[in-house]
Amino acid sequence: MRHATLLRTGLSALLVIGAWTAAGPVSASAAPAPAEPPASAALLSAMQRDLGLTEKQALTRLADEKAATAQEKKAQRAAGSAFGGSWLDAKTGRLTVAVTNAEKAEAVRATGADTRLVEHSAKTLDAAKARIDALKAPSGVSSWHVDPATSRVVVNVVAAEQADNDVRTFVAKARKAGPVTVKTTAEAPQTFAAGTVGGDPYYTGNVRCSIGFSVHGGFVTAGHCGGTGQQVRGWDNSYIGNFQGSSFPGDDYAWVNVGSGWWTVPVVLGWGTVPDQLVRGSNEAPIGASICRSGSTTRWHCGRVLAKNETVNYSQGAVHQMTKTSVCAQGGDSGGSFISGDQAQGVTSGGWGNCTSGGETWYQPINEILNRYGLRLHTA
């Protein structure tokens, strides 16, 4: 980025000006540095606004979620083939693990997690979902995902189209694929790209999107924002780089190289302020965890993780392995960052609704993007 101009302006969700400099030597008698806060003031404020929490409740929730994230993998190993999925109970702050074998429950509880006996293993449910993924979905089918709490595959249908013959045919085929529950949703999903508007993070052609997370050599964003080779311009219309890889539909991720006076740092910005949230890793938050999003249109908004590995049926085609949230978003927020505490979660893909009346938004998980392109997240 262009140093002086951007230091005064502070624009995007992720690309920031300047370099992080190492502190000078500290004498042996110096007092220890204060502990890093679990979240920035802007993130805590957004959690309070969007989740109806006090500051103390937001801090407690972040601590619970950090513990549950670390606990989840241990609990899954303890459950073995009986593992049926897991989720965070926001009321108790505890991780619940579904198991198909009561004998495994004790081993799971030894990790500190609660347990629930269910009918189907995660492996069985994932296989059922994969069979549904192979079907061609009509526009009236919104999405489908595995719900560990009910031990079913949930198929979401647009309420106004549930009586449509093609929708009913799809649902009938889905039921044959495995244990299915059908729910309705208000609207069909759509991506959140937008036409060119001045003063926003980046443009490709006449489309505006938001920067995701910094990686070494560039940044990640949504695939529907541009195809491989397309040029990317910054908020000031100066050249940043090009899409080095892009996938949509099927997936919704991409990465852009950064050069020409622009560079990256591991930060998600709060709007109208100095750099806000340091990114320290990409540990995946569990279902039920709080999560926040930063985008160039609606800035900071928070909500909860509702489902993982959901297939979303956009008009352009289905996108797989998405995470659904209760966070709102609008046009131009596509590609922006989803973060839980100081852990990167993914890039904004699309959803339904808006930040006035509410809605739901999906993101493409960050670790899948990093693995696909062999990228390394830029962390503090």
Residue (of 66, 64, 86) closest to 75 by Cα position = 86
Q: Which of 151, 200, 214, 224 is catalytic?
A: 224
State yes or no: cis peptide before 275, omega within 30 of 0: no
Q: Is the dihedral of CA 258, 263, 267, 270 positive or negative?
A: negative
- Asked whether 139 and 313 are in contact (CB, 8 A), the reply is yes
Q: Which of 64, 147, 200, 252 is catalytic?
A: 252
* Sole residue written with tokens 């495995």: 178
Q: Which two tokens stand for residue 109?
A: 């509880």
| 349 in active site | no
- Asked whether 73 and 286 are in contact (CB, 8 A), the reply is no
| 334 in active site | yes
| 120 in active site | no
Which residue intervals of the chain are DSSP H helices?
3-9, 41-51, 55-79, 102-109, 122-133, 165-177, 366-373
Q: Which of 12, 142, 334, 349 is catalytic?
A: 334
CA–CA dist 114, 97 (Å, integer)? 6
- All residues at 6 or more sequence positions from 26 whose CB lies less than 8 Å from its CB, including other chains: none
* Sole residue written with tokens 């996108």: 319
SS3 222: coil
Half-sphere exposure of 376 (CA within 13 A, CB side): 4
Q: Is the dihedral of CA 326, 136, 221, 374 positive or negative?
A: positive
DSSP-derived pairing of the beta strands 114-117 and 94-99: parallel
Q: Which two tokens stand for residue 146?
A: 């595995």
SS3 99: strand
DSSP-derived pairing of the beta strands 277-278 and 317-325: unpaired
Q: Label residues 188-213 b or e (16+ Cβ within 10 Å = b).
A: bbebbbbeeeeebbbbbeebbbbbbb
Q: Which residues are catalytic?
A: 224, 252, 334
